[in-house]
Structure 1
């Protein structure tokens, strides 16, 4: 059974996913936000759910019609080890970019096996890391694995980006498994929530595990 939640509730849930990366727990996966027994990763700054969630946007196609996503200064900061909420570790890649715009076909998907599945979709466009009141673009860090994307001529599937060299990219599609996402204002103002994220018409769906 599908239970869609829309409008402001969906937007609030999307923000929860993006900033806490703690979705719906099950019996086998300790809840990352649990006060007791939660092991916080010191570099990321919060407890990370032990199971990655899928991020996907754009459609795979045999020809280029339009680019579906755009970002600036896309950089691979290398392989690192993170600690997840149950105290175990994962080896992941650390990526950084700014001002991600996705034109269409957005999916954030976390599957909890037989218990729960959470999907967040949006028709696009969405923007993660727009400009703040001072005109500065927000930065976003992602810790994840299995990055695949197509850009440029969209013929070759890339699984890496140059180390420490930021690329401005327009691409056809992107897929990866993410453990944590943080977006931050380069110069936040005290008392102001000047952290621009634009996620119009997003939909949150909670499905049973068999869906």
Structure 2
């Protein structure tokens, strides 16, 4: 009777223990990064949707109307700002929870497993810091695009007035910000680094989970 109960208890511990919980928290953080990136690009696509390649053509009135339309869209999309806190909360809570799991393990792990657990906790801390900077860059990129895109449509950079939007934005960003404003690809590059770091924490968590399971099995066999 004791053996089936012991096997059932061991199975429940494997399913609901710290290892699966840590993996679940890491997955939540990973999905939150994808959500933050997708939300940013969706807003940018909606903002720039009405803009043609020539940003209204040579007609100044058409360019002015295009700029007004983009400004109106930017104001409407700014009302979506509270939604950006969803991925922020997901990333922060998931990584803090993962660090808490690692901290609780540190109370009873010994030797190499304890060192590996400490390294994993520091890795989660680094991921949390990188996530905060990535989300900050996404907000800066959105502010730059929302503020400067209407101005790009108003700039008459050539006599024909048919400068492509991308080139016009590049010039306007340089003039108004004295450097290129944060472009969408910059936070995306950092988000990719963050994803790699989170995948590394997942691999490290699984390896540590297996190491802890082997250590427990060895202690049980010795007993």
Q: TM-score range by the shorter chain?
A: under 0.3
Name the structure with the higher strand share. Answer: 1
| TM-score, normalised by the number of residues in structure 2 | 0.22
Q: TM-score normalized by structure 1?
A: 0.23
